[in-house]
Amino acid sequence: MEKIKILAAPGPVSYPIIAAQDSRFDIVFSKEGDADVVLDSSVSMIKRGLRANISLISGLSGFMPKIGNKVAIWRKGSAGDVLARAVLSLKGLSPDLIYVEDQARIRGMLSSGEVDSVVTAAANGRIIPFEELLAEHGIEMPGSCVSKVTESVRRDFIEAYEEGLRKFRENPIESSDFVASVLPVKTSPEFIRNAILGSRTAVKEISDDVEFTNLVRKFS
């Protein structure tokens, strides 16, 4: 039987499907192209021109510890940058934005007082999620991480993804170690574990994301 191809961004969105270790799937790490299953951030999916239909992970990133006057953000044009600028515009705020190429520097900048706010992942500590900030303005974000799944493989994919989430809940250390060994980019098992266990994971249908899509396009 031919395997189901998954095109996956090598970030948190891919961790559960890797942990599932399901032989029905062939996981290819890429942020380009199309396939029966595509996994990426909600922002990147829109920028790629793909229509996501299943939400997977929410509350993955946001501001820490608040929206300050000087904000450090990893890479201009990243999902975090797009969402941060969208939120700031909606709130009528204009803080200084400091772009950083080395993601590991961001927490240090906050600790040293170089900035008073950072855009970061929930794996790094308590955040104000983008979903909550956008909801304050009546915009529903479909999640931090989403998927585009062809109807013919929908049941198989959901079954496998939920199995991966179950493995993370029941055996977090073993699961994160395995995922770290498979990823094409060096990622610590601790970050992998915290990214999944520290965010909201639920496989659910995306109903209406028109406003969110328009917002992302405006700030991309």
Q: Is the pLDDT of residue 18 over 80?
A: yes
Q: DSSP letter string over 91-153?
A: HT---EEEEES-TTHHHHHHHHTS-SEEEEEGGGS--EEHHHHHHTTT-----SEEEEE-GGG
pLDDT bracket for residue 70 (50, 70, 90): very high
Q: What is the pLDDT of residue 102?
A: 87
Letter for the amino acid at 123?
A
pLDDT at residue 162 tops 90? yes
Q: Average pLDDT of 60-66?
A: 97
**So what's the pLDDT on residue 8?**
98
**Contact (CB, 8 A) for 126 and 33:** no
Question: Is a pLDDT exceeding 80 seen at residue 220?
Answer: yes
- Asked if residue 60 has pLDDT above 90, the reply is yes
Q: Work out the average pLDDT over 186-215.
A: 95
- In this prediction, residue 42 carries a pLDDT of 98
Whether pLDDT at 184 is above 90? yes
Which domains are delineated in the chain? 4-59+143-207 (3.40.190.10), 61-135 (3.40.190.10)
Query: Which residue type occupies 3?
Result: K
Task: Return the number of other C-beta atoms located less than 10 Å from residue 109's C-beta.
Answer: 18
pTM, full prediction: 0.94
Q: Are 128 and 140 in contact (CB under 8 A)?
A: no
Q: What is the pLDDT of residue 34?
A: 96
**Which of the four pLDDT bands, split at 50, 70 and 90, describes residue 122?**
very high
In this prediction, residue 49 carries a pLDDT of 96
For range 144-152, the mean pLDDT: 98
pLDDT over threshold 80, residue 1: no
Lowest mean pLDDT among 104-108, 167-171, 190-194: 104-108
Give 55's pLDDT tier (boundaries 50, 70, 90): very high
pLDDT tens profile 79-109: 999 999 999 999 999 999 999 998 889 989 9
* DSSP secondary structure of the chain: -PPEEEEE-SSGGGHHHHHHT-TTEEEEE-SSS--SEEEEEHHHHHHTT----EEEEES-EEEESS--SEEEEESTTSHHHHHHHHHHHHHT---EEEEES-TTHHHHHHHHTS-SEEEEEGGGS--EEHHHHHHTTT-----SEEEEE-GGGHHHHHHHHHHHHHHHHH-HHHHHHHHHHH-SS---HHHHHHHHHTSEEEEEE----HHHHHHHHHH-
Residues 6+ apart with CB under 8 A from 170: none
